[in-house]
Amino acid sequence: MAAAAHADWKIEDQSPAQSADSPLVIEKKVITEAGETGFFSTRRIDLVWFNASEFTLKVIDNGPMATPNYPGLAAAMQAHGCLAGCNGGFFLKDHAPSGLMIADGTPLGRFGEGALLSGVLLSSGNHSPYLLRRAEYDGAKYKATDLIQAGPFLVDQGATVRGLSPENSRRRTFVIHDGGKWFALGLSDPFTLAELGIILARDDFSPSHPIYRALNLDGGTSSGLYYERGGAGEPLRIEPYKTVRNFVGIIPRARPR
């Protein structure tokens, strides 16, 4: 029923011209929906795509809320040489990470259960990033140096995940994978989880990189996005409204010696 109710969504690609020296692919999608009164609402989704043969993911620990390690997202990205990044996973009232976090090889928290911890985003040193279901993760196999748990999944095997909440429209950050070499970090204007899952799974959302999996990260006031524009100008900085526990950055893979 949800898909039929939003069949009048229109997705327009307003991606900026890509700078020749930019190693990342930036996409801007504008989603227009006709309401019951005939008025149209327009919302935006920004994506930063990277090729896993050249880049990987880095988890950055921001420390406790009383004494954060960085004043914001941009500062954390620049301190670690990340070309782009966003806020990371959920955290508890005491600012401890919800679920397992591994940053620079140091684990904190414990591997958790539940819908908000159903996905595992990780990188193993200089190796490719992975976006896994919780049941697929094996610590001995992947030997993660950088990892967060988050959830729920929005898209899996190219289809919208069933049972996503149709309530609480809010800003969202998420990570997506095309099933091959391409991953992306995304930031959206307010959507419900159900709406975002339907939109990301549509064939016309990202024709060049059809989405195989999409995992929700911490959203609302935690949402933020940063990326370098190459020679096209100053970096884009959309900072979280509140202090978050961790960040996820896109960083070049080290070259073999």
Task: pLDDT tens for the chain, 257 residues: list them.
Answer: 344 344 578 999 999 887 777 789 999 999 998 766 555 789 999 999 999 999 999 999 999 999 999 999 999 999 999 999 999 999 999 999 999 999 999 999 999 999 999 999 999 987 899 999 999 999 999 999 999 999 999 999 999 999 999 999 999 999 999 999 999 999 999 999 999 999 999 999 999 999 999 999 999 999 999 998 766 567 889 999 999 999 999 999 976 54
| Rounded Cα distance, 12 and 145, in Å | 38
The pTM is what?
A: 0.93
Amino acid at 94: D
In 52-152 the beta strands, taken as DSSP E runs, fall at 55-61, 84-87, 101-103, 106-108, 119-123, 129-133, 146-150
